[in-house]
Structure 1
Amino acid sequence: MSAVVYTLAIEARWRDMDAFNHVNNASYLGYIEEARVRWFKSLSADWANETSAPVMASVTVNYRRPAVWPETLRIELIAERAGNKSLTLGHRITAAGDRDVLYCDGHTILVWIDRSGQSVLLPENVRAACAVG
């Protein structure tokens, strides 16, 4: 796969800074989550519903360089693997104005589960969005 499926530009906020005026490491996870949720919502308003929803099974973030405020960040989501019940999304955060300025990269593994906690098949619209044409 390895196709960029979604991009989002987002402003680093003052409150995202740490004591050294860098974007705090935990904020990166929030930016990635925001992109992921917006992507799912762009696929279907029903991406998480009463019967099933995605949960995070694993996340890896490789911090490449510190981002500082003010900065507009570009979050890219990359379809790495769509299994029967899990989805691996790569992510990259770069400077919106210069994609060669890489702040972090990594991947997230998501599993769709039902209300009882049992894994279920990926929604067909998610699988289709990950297909490389």
Structure 2
Amino acid sequence: MDAALRERFGVEGDWALSKEHTIRWAECDIYAHVNHAAYLTLFEDMRIDWWLGAGGGFSATAPGPVVGSLEVKYHRPGKFQDRVLLTARTVSFRRTSFVHQYAMWRDGVLCSARALCVVVDNATGLKAEIADPMRRLMAERDGAVAEG
């Protein structure tokens, strides 16, 4: 992310992935504020983009991330037709899981979230190890810390 984009949206900290988005009416409540569920869907889109960009895939036989827990903090309301910046990064990882952080920015942070994601082998339903190249990417690009 370049300095101009960071300044335009009031972004703090380092983020591995960012994407601009315009809030659609379908993402709002009757007061034209972003609906709480829409934040989670937009963060899910970031999680999918992150996983695919890190070399992962989605199929009935490939391992993929499943959200084990999710914590969300609503700082200020987003509104219909706001131009926002969505961000994602991995902050830590273990053998079969990782922690993602997400944020939506417009003149500073509007909403932030933290998700514990478990990698699951979709063919068996069992936990799967995170591949070494993905672990390296988490550490080198995102600055994630290896735990346990």
For the aligned residue pairs, the C-alpha RMSD in angstroms reads: 1.8
Q: Structure 2: which 5+ runs fail to align?
A: 1-12, 144-148
Alignment of 1:40-55 (within 5 A): 40-44=51-55, 46-49=56-59, 50-55=61-66
Q: Which residue of 1 aligns with 2:116?
A: 109
Residues 73 and 94, structure 1, Cα contact 8 Å, conserved in 2: yes
AA matched with 1:71: D
Greater than 3 Å deviation, 4+ residue runs: none
Aligned to 1:129: 137
Counterparts of 1:8-47 in structure 2, within 5 Å, are 8-44=19-55, 46-47=56-57
Instruction: Pick the structure with more strand per residue.
Output: 1
Contact 1:40 1:126 in 2 (8 A): no
Deviations 1:55-106 (A, max 9, x none): 11111110011100111221111221111100100111111xx3x2x11112
SS at match of 1:131: helix
Residue of structure 1 aligned with 2:126, choices 118, 127, 130? 118
Corresponding residue number in structure 1 for 2:3: none
Tell me, yes or no, if the aligned pair for 1:22 and 1:67 is still in contact at 8 Å: yes
Report the CA distance between 1:3 and its aligned residue: 5.2
Task: Report the CA distance between 1:121 and its aligned residue.
Answer: 0.4
Task: State the alpha-carbon separation in 2 of the partners of residues 7 and 124 from structure 1.
Answer: 24
Aligned to 1:92: 103
Sequence identity percentage: 22
2:69 is the counterpart of 1:61:
no
Structure 1 length-normalised TM = 0.86
Report the number of matched residues: 127
Contact 1:10–1:31 (Cα < 8 Å) also in 2: no
If the length of structure 2 is used for normalisation, what is the TM-score? 0.78
Which consecutive residues of structure 1, in runs of 5 or more, have no partner in the other structure? none
